[in-house]
A and B are shown apart, each in its own frame.
Chain A
Amino acid sequence: MNFALFVQYALSGITVGSIYAIVAIGFNIIYCTTGIINFAQGEFLIVGAMTAISLTRVVPLPVAILGAVVITTLLGGLIELIFIRRVRNASVLRLVIVTIGLSILIREAMLHVWDEKPWSLPYFTGTAVSTVTILGAHISLQVLWVLGVSVVIVTSLTLFFRYTTTGQAMRACADDRMAARLCGINDRWMVTLSFMLSAGIGALAGCIVSPITQTQYDMGAPLAIKGFTVAILGGLGNSMAAVAAGLFLGLLESFVVSVLPASYKEVVAIVVLLSILVFRPTGLFARRGTSALRTA
């Protein structure tokens, strides 16, 4: 393998890895507040992207994306109010099952609102063929957008959770719901807020990856599975680690393809997921005891 080819595999890994990472971030927000995994996260991405695609027919791209994020954020809040909040004896497992049901519901609704065809947003800068050259290999400009936006999202989230009262309150809810309530935190609204936040970030992610992946109503689930793997790999609740883990999985897949037949590529994520659950359930980057996988 010559050097340029090596770099090309690496860049291709970074492309998919950046997509995995941005999906994984959405999982982390809801997990941080409620301790549940939201399996409808993939659908938030698609709803966001589809809404933006529809909006681009009447408004310019940036406005369309902003509109899509706002609409999906409201949808996230609405879903929490209607479905999650009403679950009685809400154990983590029960809520997770509810989100699986929600993902099917949203997917079928999207099939009727939009249609079965693939759509996509235009490339943010340049066109499908514009690339930058790094060390003799090429990478699409859109990937730089994905990476850039991931960094911005992760930084703002970290600051939000660490330094604002609301952010700290959300974390407190995750840690001990009863204790948080005793401190005067309205835990129910914190959960609603976390759904809105992750729906909004999901929508933004969906819009940014849309030019690369294309958007089809049933694409949420495969994206969510990869995002979920990456979130576990990085350690649930840790967004910074999720980005690192996303890039790691992307690169791993890419180099596996370089030596094995490409049909084995899909096995990589599953093998990684299983081994991490068996050997290091706290995630690659977690310090001991900080974010153990919840079993309650």
Chain B
Amino acid sequence: MRMRLAAILGVLVVGCALLVSGCKKTPSGPGPSATPIKVGAIFAETGGASFLGAPEARTVKMFVEKLNRAGGVNGHKIELLVKDSGGSPEKAISLAKQLIDEDKVLAILGPSTSGETMSIKDICQEGKTILLSCAAAEKIVEPIAPFVFKTPQKDSDAARRIYETMKELAISKIGVVTSNDGFGIAGGEQLAKLAPEYGITIAISETYDKQATDLQDVLTKVMSAEVQGVVNWSIVPAQSLVAKNMKQIGFDVPLFQSHGFGNIKYVEQGGEAANGTIFPCGRLLVADVLPADHPQKNVLVEYKKDYESQYKEDASTFGGHAYDAILVLVEGIKKANSVERDQVRAAIETLQGVVGTGGVFNFSPTDHNGLAKDAFEVLTVKDGKFAVYQKQPGRN
């Protein structure tokens, strides 16, 4: 009996000693043994918004792998927890709660869509967890919630770039078609709000189903309004349908699309009909032809090369938004030299000149997006490839 007691005591003593020595190790400063930082991510890897979520999830996984191989950030490895929301706001809510309450993550990357982001904005704010959204809508950062940031460029800036190009082409009467989802509706609102500022009249505005398989009837209606140009604002595959159907019904006016068109897949689907489409977009798509001294050149070329060699598919600007989200977080952690949510949050707010794929980020307590209008380049499609748009002297 006494022997057994002694044995138990002995085990306990040894155990305590081990524990103490274990504890001692951690504060010995940043080394490879420092506790990993938990970072959550909610992306629509499947479902209707998967063309956003899938490249986003792949991008952050790639980014974190590379970062951890290089020793992590401030000596901490990053432990990434990627969750698939399927594009559903309800699912995003429960995933966000799970990440905040159970996994106690430092920050959440994503979600992919504006609808999902808006439904978890308050949850992240109340849970004091940093949210770095990859969705476009401006209401995400307006009004500002201290813990909520977003990396894609602003809708209103895209609309402005479209209208500026129209003015160059002397287009003043236009038709607008949008998809009946969050992205299309928000874009339609921005276009309507900014049109008077640029002296542009929207003669007709139509909404189509996001799963539409043919849009000839809607476009026939737009054609009958005798407009000089058409803006399509959506992220769905219908973007290529608009281009094809316009050509098919012989509706020959310039077609403008939103930054949602920034995926070479849509150009391939549109075939010959996609040529000549004009749209504002981040510079990722034209990374190869940017001048060597452009500030974003290196970041863009490297991301594109890494992504394309690892996943054997074309990089898209959507994946780029996720790249920027994790980049901003890592820069924030470095600057704060801490893994406390409050300190990292405050550090992100003061980040200046962070070069990402979407542009150069300059955050402030009143600007949680950090990008300016010049983050958009006006692009066009030439022979099935993206090119920087240049005004042709022959065209008016």
Contact = CB atoms under 8 A, between A and B. Distances in A.
Given A8-B249, A213-B214, A214-B241, A118 B269 contact: yes
B208 to A, nearest CB: 5
B65 interface: no
B48 interface: yes
Interface residues of A, number: 45
Interface stretch (A9-17, A68-76, A97-105, A271-279): A9-17
Contacts of B244: 128-129
Interface in A1-43: 1, 5, 8-9, 11-13, 15-16, 19
Interface stretch (A153-161, A172-180, A228-236, A250-258): A250-258
B209 interface: yes
Contacts of A15: 214, 216
B218 A257 contact: yes
Contacts of B217: 9, 12-13, 16, 253-254, 257-258, 262, 265
Interface in B217-273: 217-218, 220-221, 223-224, 237, 240-241, 244, 247-250, 265-266, 269-273
Given A129-B273, A214-B240, A266 B209 contact: yes
Contacts of B265: 117-118
Contacts of A213: 213-214
Interface in B28-82: 46-48, 50-51, 54
Nearest to A119: B269
A5 to B, nearest CB: 5
Interface string A169-201: 000000000000000000000000000000000
B366 interface: no
A59 interface: no
A267 to B, nearest CB: 10
B172 interface: no
A138 B249 contact: yes
B206 interface: yes
Contact of B221 (A115, A116, A119, A262): A262
Interface of B: 46-48, 50-51, 54, 177, 180, 206-209, 211, 213-214, 216-218, 220-221, 223-224, 237, 240-241, 244, 247-250, 265-266, 269-273
21 contacts: A5-B224, A8-B216, A11-B216, A15-B216, A16-B214, A115-B54, A116-B50, A117-B265, A120-B269, A127-B271, A128-B244, A131-B249, A131-B250, A212-B214, A214-B213, A216-B237, A254-B216, A257-B217, A258-B217, A261-B207, A265-B208
